[in-house]
Amino acid sequence: MTAEAHAAPGLRPAEPAAPERAGARGSEGGVPRGLPRHRTRDRSRGVSRLPQRTVAIDRYLETIFCIAAEDEPVRPSRIAQWLGVKAPTVSIGLRRLRAGGWIRTELDRRVTLTAEGETAARAIVRRHRLAECWLTDLLGLDWASAHLEATRVSASLSDAVLARLDAALGEPRICPHGHAIPGRAAPYGQLVALADLRPGSAGAVRRISEIIEHESFELLRALAAAGVCTGVEVSVEPGGSAAEIILSVGARRHVIALAPATARMIWVEVVDPRANAAPDVPRARSGLARTSSAQGSETTALREARDIGVKGPLGSGAREPQGPPWDALGGSA
């Protein structure tokens, strides 16, 4: 007689337990209980594996890198402003990046990249800036449109295509806005803010702040329309005031007026060695202060740059979005 025949009516004998999945949570060879699922350890090699990056993770890493490059304290509120999302969204995103090993947060809420985060961010920025060079040098886009389009297409470029593109461009050292390609030295010396030049002095435009590049598409396009671009010589003319700086631009000496906040975000290399930067410039009132206590002044300066910007016979373009929204890090983060 079988075991089923001896079983009590209505009861069935217990089925044999299924073998444990190799790698199941809490089982031998899998992730031990209590450890986060996103970061596992390869026992055979003794090394940690970071989670696979997503487009949103890349965007956060790039944002942190660029804000830090402007000598600003990188805090959640600034990241939220840069990405155009709400503070709770950034808090969730940063928590995931921190758990993944990409960032660290300090007691004063400053965010810094880990070694792994820095390496990843430099590769992301390099890809973006090479894409900008391709769009301006080979396809003929203006530097405002190039930034916008590079945000859209750079992530789709494979490493092989990027290497061919870099070679075809002659291995550029800077992007169209004057920022160094990560891993290469910029081909210019010491820079000063345009707002710090005395009247009568001249400088060659070398770099435009990431703040203009990222947050004011219309202003970036207006500067290009006025002839202000990397390599162009500008000189500060007499007759300016606390509200505006008078410039002559290029060989034709086209005269324009800039808001001090805008001039604070344009970096030049002094052409005439006798012309030094003006001393005791009131940074907190006329430009972007670079200290943690001047965050409010910086916001005011950026608003002033947008409101005043460039005065002159310029065309104006509508401000365009800087790419897709970055509301969340996605499920794979």
Residue spans of the domains in the chain: they are 55-113, 130-183, 192-311
**Above 50 in pLDDT, residue 195?**
yes
Lowest model confidence (mean pLDDT) among 18-22, 159-163, 174-178, 278-282: 278-282
**Above 60 in pLDDT, residue 4?**
no
Cα radius of gyration rounded to whole Å, the chain = 27
Of residues 135 and 32, the one with the higher pLDDT is: 135
Mean pLDDT confidence for 224-246:
87
CA-to-CA distance for 171 and 129, rounded, in angstroms?
12
**Above 60 in pLDDT, residue 47?**
no
Mean pLDDT confidence for 195-213:
91
Of residues 179 and 46, the one with the higher pLDDT is: 179
How does pLDDT run across 301-326, given as a tens digit for each residue? Answer: 444 444 444 554 333 333 343 443 33
**Above 60 in pLDDT, residue 206?**
yes
Mean pLDDT confidence for 70-88:
93
CA-to-CA distance for 219 and 288, rounded, in angstroms?
16
% the chain with pLDDT above 90:
44
The DSSP symbol for 65 reads H
**Above 90 in pLDDT, residue 133?**
yes
% the chain with pLDDT above 70:
66
Mean pLDDT confidence for 116-144:
95
CB 156 within 8 A of CB 131: no
CA-to-CA distance for 135 and 140, rounded, in angstroms?
6
Query: What CATH superfamily classification does 192-311 receive?
Result: Ferrous iron transport protein A (FeoA) (2.30.30.90)
Topology annotation, domain 55-113: Arc Repressor Mutant, subunit A (1.10.10)
H runs (alpha helix) in 228-314: 260-264, 283-286, 295-307
List C-alpha distances in Å: 204 to 54, 132, 152, 260, 271: 39, 21, 30, 18, 6
Q: State the pLDDT at residue 241.
A: 78
Mean pLDDT confidence for 76-101:
94
Of residues 38 and 73, the one with the higher pLDDT is: 73
Of residues 11 and 91, the one with the higher pLDDT is: 91
Q: State the pLDDT at residue 297.
A: 38
CA-to-CA distance for 29 and 238, rounded, in angstroms?
75
Of residues 4 and 301, the one with the higher pLDDT is: 4
Residue type, 85: V
Would the CATH topology of 55-113 be identical to that of 130-183?
yes
Q: State the pLDDT at residue 19.
A: 53
**Above 60 in pLDDT, residue 298?**
no
CB 162 within 8 A of CB 130: yes
Q: State the pLDDT at residue 256.
A: 87
Mean pLDDT confidence for 180-189:
93
CB 311 within 8 A of CB 244: yes
Measured in degrees and rounded to the nearest 5, phi and psi for residue 48 equal: -90, 145
What tokens were used for 224?
């290009």
Of residues 31 and 238, the one with the higher pLDDT is: 238
- What CATH code is assigned to 130-183? 1.10.10.10
DSSP 73-136: ---HHHHHHHHT--HHHHHHHHHHHHHTTSEEE-TT--EEE-HHHHHHHHHHHHHHHHHHHIII
Q: State the pLDDT at residue 23.
A: 45
Mean pLDDT confidence for 74-84:
94
Mean pLDDT confidence for 52-68:
91
Mean pLDDT of the chain: 75
Closest CA to 71 of 286, 289, 219: 289
Mean pLDDT confidence for 185-194:
92
Q: State the pLDDT at residue 330.
A: 42
CA-to-CA distance for 286 and 298, rounded, in angstroms?
10
Q: State the pLDDT at residue 12.
A: 52
